[in-house]
Structure 1
Amino acid sequence: MTLRIRTKRILSISFMILGGILMFFAPEDIWIGALLFILGLGIEIAGLVLGHNK
């Protein structure tokens, strides 16, 4: 049981870091930048949902 919680926590933190990096390095080009920003935001949300304990 604790391995599952630890794995979820590691995945959650990894997703949040990856999402932040994607949002930070989104280029100025409107279409590619917007796409990477939305992708980063989605990954951040997935990380938050995954890390939420019930």
Structure 2
Amino acid sequence: MLRWSSTYTFGLLWLIIGSEAFHLNALKQDHLERMKQYDAKIRLAKHEFDDTSNETK
């Protein structure tokens, strides 16, 4: 009985750790995507600012 219980506990622990790792990877991917969008917005704003500053010269 002890052997089955420890195997079950180990399997359950492995499942929890695996699901947390999957969740953290999904959060990381989401964060990277948001940072790419943020960077693109900054580049666009910088480009528009450069265009307007060239018009005033």
Between structure 1 and structure 2, the one with the greater Rg is 2
Higher fraction of helix: 2
Give the structure-2-normalised TM-score. 0.47
Which structure carries more relative contact order (alpha carbon 8 Å, separation 6+)?
1
